[in-house]
């Protein structure tokens, strides 16, 4: 008797008609074989093997360089289950539309069966997915990003408990590109893209969109959050999870080299993009990282902004859409060192000054987590690590102070639900436009976001010790258009304040939006920052916030009567606090 997995693979092969089927075991030998094949057919370009051993460059099709949110659908029987912020299609219609694109799409090509575990191999909270793909680049990337191969097959056995994902490059024509999620049957179909979150189906498609649906049903949380541990001088580590939209610095924060290292504050990396969190037997929220690698944005990465990744991504790393120097080393805008003669841009052309960026702004490195010097020794703890704080943030040139703390769980959920950020190159479309991105999950929530807010509200009371909820903004600018805060390793000063709040030893000023640090409660020694700048960083302008809260109210109207009353209540309560404070100021 065929197992459920064998039957599904057979069915997928009948549809896509590959010349050959390869079951991936995740071994070193297999990786070498796939790499050699990709070097032969041009999918991989060899980088300098002396300075970057086992590193390769992949150039994706120029029309396929980022997630395509407009082509991403949640396919549920009822439209309201997908909600007003997702593209929706009925499952039968979606299949009718996309099946012809898969029909024969792997003719003459190899189909790779890629089984993978999301989460530590031995964790009861880990889950299994199987991606069928005609891209060897996807298969080798999945080997870095997840526990791929034999371990997953062994754990699955003959069970039907896996999330199938069918992927084919198709013809890479954006008009025939679809990323379809069927959460009711836990199925993913993606065709026409070979890039990142569109094609590595374990990442956004399963670990966020399908998993968020499962989490709502099963009483846990699947969030677009990094996980880090902040070690204090006594050696105690406090874990925090932070949600920022794509390409807003989650990887850099999670891998930070602390500016307060000499004082005994260190940051340990558990994850850089996704957190799965369960209520532990101790009443704490416990987080695992479903991934095993980092798919990070290369441009802007250097020895100052992320020294740990610079030390990790010099071996066994796949680079996508970066530039290449004449000596075969990866290069991008913002790396240490100016462009050198003979630079080849991300499209494979000779780069010249004035010919645009050499690396694509959304160029990426795919690096095994195990190579980071900052990796927490507890990162594979099967029970997950206890989360003491949630941190929300985004890119906001104005308005939001460096950090503030919400009043309680319900208010904190409101703070998360109202985050806004300027868009980045991680998705196609305009860059730098402000948009609401609740919990940084707008592109990743697999169901109605109003119900998602309700799920968040319901989780707090299940926890004996719910995480305290904060908001940060590293991106506030002064009147001169320059960033007010240095960011990167200095952000540890904000993490330390958060820790001190948790330990009830940091001062704060009550404002209508929440508690802002008193200037003396921030540890600023060794940092030259003027009193005026600090004041500007921490200031809360009630009139600006009145406008903000009105915009939030407008945004919430999208959800109609499905918006949880507690969220609407928080929006009005903030309006009241703000108007009282402007009256008091007069």
Which range in 239-247, 369-377, 399-407, 525-533 contacts Mn ion by CB under 5 A? 239-247
421 binds Mn ion (CB under 5 A): no
CB of 203 to ligand SAT, least distance (A): 5
Taking the C-alpha atoms of residue 397 and residue 144, their distance in angstroms, rounded to an integer, is: 35
CB of 286 to ligand SAT, least distance (A): 24
Taking the C-alpha atoms of residue 405 and residue 431, their distance in angstroms, rounded to an integer, is: 29
| Both tokens assigned to 84 | 């007003």
Q: What residues between 102 and 121 interact with ligand SAT by CB under 6 A?
A: none
Measured from the CB atom, the residue of 91 and 293 that comes closer to ligand SAT is 293
Taking the C-alpha atoms of residue 366 and residue 573, their distance in angstroms, rounded to an integer, is: 44
CB of 199 to ligand SAT, least distance (A): 9
Binding partner at 155 among Mn ion, ligand SAT, none, C-beta below 5 to 8 Å by kind: none
Taking the C-alpha atoms of residue 60 and residue 516, their distance in angstroms, rounded to an integer, is: 44
Taking the C-alpha atoms of residue 274 and residue 223, their distance in angstroms, rounded to an integer, is: 6
Taking the C-alpha atoms of residue 183 and residue 459, their distance in angstroms, rounded to an integer, is: 21
CB of 209 to Mn ion, least distance (A): 12
Helix or strand (DSSP H, E) at 223: strand 221-223
246 binds ligand SAT (CB under 6 A): yes
Cα–Cα nearest to 471, from 395, 416, 542, 536? 416
CB of 195 to ligand SAT, least distance (A): 7
What is Dmax (Cα atoms) for the chain? Answer: 79
Taking the C-alpha atoms of residue 228 and residue 379, their distance in angstroms, rounded to an integer, is: 9
Q: What residues between 408 and 447 interact with ligand SAT by CB under 6 A?
A: 426
CB of 224 to Mn ion, least distance (A): 6
CB of 215 to Mn ion, least distance (A): 17
351 forms beta bridges with none
Measured from the CB atom, the residue of 197 and 438 that comes closer to ligand SAT is 197
269 binds Mn ion (CB under 5 A): no
Helix or strand (DSSP H, E) at 320: strand 318-320
Taking the C-alpha atoms of residue 401 and residue 176, their distance in angstroms, rounded to an integer, is: 43
Instruction: Evaluate whether 120 touches 385 at the Cβ level (below 8 Å).
Output: no
| Both tokens assigned to 381 | 């703890």
196 binds ligand SAT (CB under 6 A): yes
Taking the C-alpha atoms of residue 510 and residue 440, their distance in angstroms, rounded to an integer, is: 26
Which range in 246-254, 342-350, 392-400, 413-421 contacts Mn ion by CB under 5 A? 246-254
405 forms beta bridges with 470, 515
Measured from the CB atom, the residue of 203 and 266 that comes closer to ligand SAT is 203
147 binds ligand SAT (CB under 6 A): no
Q: Which of 26, 119, 149, 197 forms a contact with ligand SAT (CB under 6 A)?
A: 197
571 binds Mn ion (CB under 5 A): no
Taking the C-alpha atoms of residue 160 and residue 464, their distance in angstroms, rounded to an integer, is: 35
Q: C-alpha angle with apex 67: 127 to 69, nearest 5 degrees?
A: 95
Rg (CA), the chain: 23
Which range in 156-164, 225-233, 243-251, 506-514 contacts Mn ion by CB under 5 A? 243-251
CB of 394 to Mn ion, least distance (A): 13
Q: Which of 246, 428, 473, 542 forms a contact with Mn ion (CB under 5 A)?
A: 246
CB of 386 to ligand SAT, least distance (A): 25
CB of 293 to ligand SAT, least distance (A): 11
406 binds Mn ion (CB under 5 A): no
Half-sphere exposure for 291 (CA within 13 Å, toward CB): 36
Binding partner at 67 among ligand SAT, Mn ion, none, C-beta below 5 to 8 Å by kind: ligand SAT
Taking the C-alpha atoms of residue 170 and residue 192, their distance in angstroms, rounded to an integer, is: 5
Q: What residues between 273 and 302 interact with Mn ion by CB under 5 A?
A: 273
Taking the C-alpha atoms of residue 249 and residue 256, their distance in angstroms, rounded to an integer, is: 10
User: What number of other Cβ atoms are within 10 A of residue 29's Cβ?
Assistant: 8
Q: How far is CA 393 from CA 248, 438, 555, in A?
A: 9, 10, 18
Binding partner at 295 among Mn ion, ligand SAT, none, C-beta below 5 to 8 Å by kind: ligand SAT
Phi, psi at 258, each rounded to 5°: -70, 135
Which range in 195-203, 252-260, 410-418, 515-523 contacts ligand SAT by CB under 6 A? 195-203
Q: What residues between 291 and 320 interact with ligand SAT by CB under 6 A?
A: 295
User: What number of other Cβ atoms are within 10 A of residue 408's Cβ?
Assistant: 11
Q: Which of 204, 278, 411, 436 forms a contact with ligand SAT (CB under 6 A)?
A: 204
Measured from the CB atom, the residue of 47 and 255 that comes closer to Mn ion is 255
| Both tokens assigned to 275 | 């957190």
B/e letters for 58-69, b = 16+ CB within 10 Å, e = fewer, are: bbbbeebbbbbb
Instruction: Evaluate whether 476 touches 215 at the Cβ level (below 8 Å).
Output: no
What are the residue numbers of the active site?
248
Which residues have C-beta within 8 Å of that of residue 149, sequence separation ≥ 6? 24, 25, 26, 27, 30, 115, 116, 143
Helix or strand (DSSP H, E) at 509: strand 508-511
Measured from the CB atom, the residue of 237 and 292 that comes closer to ligand SAT is 292
58 binds ligand SAT (CB under 6 A): no
Which range in 166-174, 196-204, 228-236, 510-518 contacts ligand SAT by CB under 6 A? 196-204
Measured from the CB atom, the residue of 332 and 409 that comes closer to ligand SAT is 332
Measured from the CB atom, the residue of 273 and 383 that comes closer to Mn ion is 273
Q: Which of 155, 203, 278, 468 forms a contact with ligand SAT (CB under 6 A)?
A: 203
Q: Which residue is nearest to ligand SAT (CB)?
A: 197
Give the interface size with ligand SAT as a residue count (CB under 6 A). 8
Q: Which of 56, 58, 59, 67 forms a contact with ligand SAT (CB under 6 A)?
A: 67
Measured from the CB atom, the residue of 209 and 266 that comes closer to Mn ion is 209
Binding partner at 417 among Mn ion, ligand SAT, none, C-beta below 5 to 8 Å by kind: none
By the criterion CB under 5 A, which residues form the site for Mn ion? 246, 273
By the criterion CB under 6 A, which residues form the site for ligand SAT? 67, 196-197, 203-204, 246, 295, 426
């Amino acid at each position: 008797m065929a197992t459920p997995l064998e039957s599904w693979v057979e069915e997928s092969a009948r549809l896509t008609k590959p010349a050959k089927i390869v079951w991936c075991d995740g071994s070193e030998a297999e990786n070498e074989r796939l790499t050699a094949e990709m070097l032969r057919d041009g999918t991989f370009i060899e980088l300098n093997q002396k300075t970057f051993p086992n590193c390769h460059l992949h150039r994706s099709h120029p029309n396929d360089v980022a997630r395509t949110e407009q082509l991403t659908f949640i396919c549920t029987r009822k439209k309201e289950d997908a909600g007003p912020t997702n593209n929706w299609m009925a499952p039968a219609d979606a299949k009718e539309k996309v099946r012809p694109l898969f029909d024969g799409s792997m003719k003459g090509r190899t189909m790779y069966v890629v089984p993978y575990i999301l989460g530590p191999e031995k964790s009861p909270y880990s889950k299994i997915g199987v991606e069928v793909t005609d891209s060897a680049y996807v298969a080798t990337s999945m080997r870095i990003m997840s526990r791929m191969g034999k371990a997953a097959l062994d754990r699955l056995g003959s069970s039907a408990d896996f999330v199938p994902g069918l992927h084919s490059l198709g013809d890479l024509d954006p008009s025939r590109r679809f990323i379809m999620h069927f959460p009711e049957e836990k199925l993913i179909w993606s065709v026409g893209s070979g890039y990142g979150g569109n094609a590595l189906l374990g990442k956004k498609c399963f670990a966020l969109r399908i998993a968020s649906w499962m989490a709502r049903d099963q009483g846990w949380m699947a969030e677009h959050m990094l996980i880090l541990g902040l070690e204090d001088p006594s050696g105690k580590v406090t874990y925090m999870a932070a949600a920022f939209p794509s390409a807003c610095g989650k990887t850099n924060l999670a891998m930070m080299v602390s500016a307060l290292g000499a004082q005994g504050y260190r940051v340990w990396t558990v994850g850089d993009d996704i957190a799965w969190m369960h209520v532990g037997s101790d009443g704490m929220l416990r987080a695992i990282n479903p991934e095993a690698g980092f798919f990070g944005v290369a441009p802007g990465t250097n020895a100052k902004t992320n020294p740990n990744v610079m030390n990790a991504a010099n071996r066994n790393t796949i680079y996508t859409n970066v530039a290449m120097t004449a000596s075969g080393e990866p290069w991008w805008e913002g790396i240490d060192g100016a462009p050198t003669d003979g630079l080849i841009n991300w499209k494979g052309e000779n780069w010249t000054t004035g010919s645009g960026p050499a690396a694509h702004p959304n160029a990426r490195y795919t690096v095994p987590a195990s190579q980071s010097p900052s990796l927490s020794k507890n990162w594979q703890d099967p029970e997950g690590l206890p989360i003491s704080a949630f941190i929300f943030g985004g890119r906001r040139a104005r308005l939001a102070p460096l950090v503030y703390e919400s009043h309680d769980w319900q208010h904190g959920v409101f703070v998360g639900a109202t985050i806004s950020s300027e868009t980045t190159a991680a998705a196609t479309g305009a860059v730098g436009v402000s948009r609401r991105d609740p919990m940084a999950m707008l592109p990743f929530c697999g169901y109605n976001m109003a119900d998602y807010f309700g799920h968040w509200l319901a989780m707090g009371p299940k926890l004996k010790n719910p995480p305290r909820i904060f908001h940060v903004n590293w991106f506030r600018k002064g009147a001169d258009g320059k960033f007010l805060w240095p960011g990167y390793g200095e952000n540890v000063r904000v993490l330390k304040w958060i820790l001190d709040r948790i330990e009830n030893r940091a001062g704060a000023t009550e404002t209508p939006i929440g508690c802002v640090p008193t200037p003396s409660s921030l540890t600023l020694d060794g940092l030259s920052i003027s009193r005026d700048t600090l004041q500007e960083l921490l200031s809360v302008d009630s009139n600006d916030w009145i406008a903000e809260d009105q915009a939030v109210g407008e945004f919430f109207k999208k959800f109609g009567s499905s918006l949880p009353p507690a969220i609407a209540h928080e929006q009005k309560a903030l309006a009241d606090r703000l108007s009282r404070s402007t009256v008091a100021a007069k």
